[in-house]
């Protein structure tokens, strides 16, 4: 299989997100997308880290600061990073922000905004 170039955004601050099969997974993912659009952090491919893709692993380990946004207490995003010996400097768990987990795959805009604001708050601290 050919080793393709990673298209993840470069930068000192990177964000990975759960994209699990629930509303909170989709909220986490959408929040990461919005943070990238706002140039707060470069959206990074968590699947590449989980798949141990060499170039992606190198880039993830070289990040100045890694943000993990998890949908629920299972913490798939943070645990995937930790399995690769990358400790997230900031970890947000969507359900800890008072957002209830459901099987609905809708990424509620108000909930996404709440997550985005929490990330910004943590970065400013």
Range 60-81 average pLDDT: 97
Range 17-26 average pLDDT: 97
Tens digit of each residue's pLDDT (9 = 90 or more) over 97-122? 999 999 999 999 999 999 999 999 99
Helix H or strand E segment including 122: helix 109-124
Q: What share of the chain is helix, strand, coil (3-state, %, to 5)?
A: 45, 15, 40
pLDDT of 10 > 60? The answer is: no
CA angle 89-91-94, nearest 5°? Answer: 165
Range 3-27 average pLDDT: 80
Q: What's the pTM value of the predicted model, to 2 decimals?
A: 0.91
Confidence label for 1 from pLDDT (cuts 50, 70 and 90): very low
């Amino acid at each position: 299989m050919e080793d393709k170039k990673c298209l993840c955004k470069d930068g000192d601050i990177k964000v990975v997100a759960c994209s699990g099969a629930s509303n909170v997974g989709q909220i986490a993912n959408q929040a990461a997308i919005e943070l990238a659009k706002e140039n707060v952090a470069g959206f990074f491919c968590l699947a590449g880290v989980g798949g141990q893709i060499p170039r992606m692993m190198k880039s993830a380990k070289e990040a100045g600061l890694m943000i993990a946004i998890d949908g629920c207490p299972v913490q798939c995003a943070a645990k995937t990073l930790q399995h690769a010996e990358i400790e997230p400097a900031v970890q947000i768990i969507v359900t800890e922000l008072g957002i209830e987990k459901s099987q609905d795959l809708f990424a509620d805009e108000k909930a996404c905004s709440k997550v985005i604001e929490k990330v910004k708050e943590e970065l400013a601290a």
